[in-house]
Amino acid sequence: MKTETNSTTGGANMARRSFLRYAGAGAAAVAVLGASSCRTGHIEPPTDYTDIGSGDIGILNYAYALEQLEAAFYLQVVATPYSGISTAETAYLTDIKDHEVLHRDFFKTALGGAAIKGLTPDFSTINFSDRASVLNAAKLFEDTGVKAYDGAGYLIQNPDYLTIAGKIVSVEARHASLIANLITPGSFVNPDQVDENGINRSASIAEILGAVNGFLKTKVIASSFNYDKV
């Protein structure tokens, strides 16, 4: 088994312990399991999948999975900009890329040994040279992120983790608003995402993973949250 070298967590041990201080024995157990799982770079088995785990660590890994997907998407968007991209759109998409990469790296650092492995995306359905294809995919990812965080909030037990999820979901909502308005001006709170009470729609873990696994070669399951097969 290939061991992953992590250059970003050298000084993060204390921080990680602080982050996980309430998770105690549960985190340690997950860490042991995590250490025995295969990492990226290993030859992929026929069905490449990872389970987010249970409890708060499971929810944090769920967020980590979504952030990995978003980060990979925007890295590609910025690396191969679509034709006709404006100066403003380049700036916005670069900013969003930076935010999503930081969210991804934050979860990876904070979760440490309890983190799920790196996911391999599958963006074969997205035409990165086409503005509409890219922005529609971006809208899907941002809207999905908002619905995912809002739908999983009640499952979180530690209030500190709920606050962290809240800090991130409002930024995802800002992204979602921006992307929607880039596609269709004034569509930032349309009924596809916001209900008749003016409340953002939310979705379950099973609904979200069912939607995003189509963009992942590494399938994500959540056996503790009613989504145990792909």
Partner 1 sequence: MNLFEIVNEIEKVDPEIHERLNPRRAAIKNITSFGSKVALAAMPFALGTMFKKAYGAASTADVIGVLNYALTLEYLEAGFYNAGSAKPGLFPGSDVLYINKITADENHHVTFLKNVIGSLGGTAVAAPAVDYTGGNNKGGGPFATVFTNYDTFLAVAQVFEDTGVRAYKGAAPILLGNQVVLTAALGIHAVEARHAAAIRKLRNDRANGATAKPTILPYIVSTASLGNDTGVAVANGNYAGEENVTQGGVNLSSLASAAVVTAAFDEPLTKDQVLALLVGSFIVN
**Binding residues for partner 1, per CB under 8 A?**
8, 12, 14-19, 21-22, 24-25, 86-89, 91-92, 95, 98-99, 101-103, 105-106, 109-110, 146, 149-151, 153-154, 156-157, 159-164, 166-178, 181, 185-186, 188-189, 194-202
Q: Closest approach of Cβ 122 to partner 1, in Å?
A: 25
Q: Closest approach of Cβ 102 to partner 1, in Å?
A: 5
* Token pair listed for 6: 């992590």
Nearer to partner 1, 48 or 150 (CB): 150
Q: Closest approach of Cβ 149 to partner 1, in Å?
A: 7
Separation CA 212–CA 67 (nearest Å): 11
Separation CA 70–CA 141 (nearest Å): 7
Separation CA 213–CA 145 (nearest Å): 13
Nearer to partner 1, 9 or 50 (CB): 9
* Token pair listed for 114: 């309890």
Nearer to partner 1, 103 or 117 (CB): 103
* Token pair listed for 99: 């935010």
Nearer to partner 1, 62 or 219 (CB): 62
Please count the CA atoms within 13 angstroms of the CA of 183 that sit on its side-chain side. Answer: 19
Q: Closest approach of Cβ 106 to partner 1, in Å?
A: 6
Three-state secondary structure readout of 140-185: HHHHHHHHHHHHHHHHCCCHHHHHHHHHHHHHHHHHHHHHHHHHCC
Nearer to partner 1, 48 or 145 (CB): 145
Q: Closest approach of Cβ 129 to partner 1, in Å?
A: 19
The C-alpha angle 28, 106, 57, rounded to 5 degrees, equals: 35
Nearer to partner 1, 151 or 213 (CB): 151
The C-alpha angle 213, 19, 228, rounded to 5 degrees, equals: 25
Q: Closest approach of Cβ 71 to partner 1, in Å?
A: 11
Q: Closest approach of Cβ 228 to partner 1, in Å?
A: 22
**88 exposed, middle or buried (CB, 10 Å; 0-12, 13-18, 19+)?**
exposed
Nearer to partner 1, 51 or 70 (CB): 70
Separation CA 28–CA 159 (nearest Å): 20
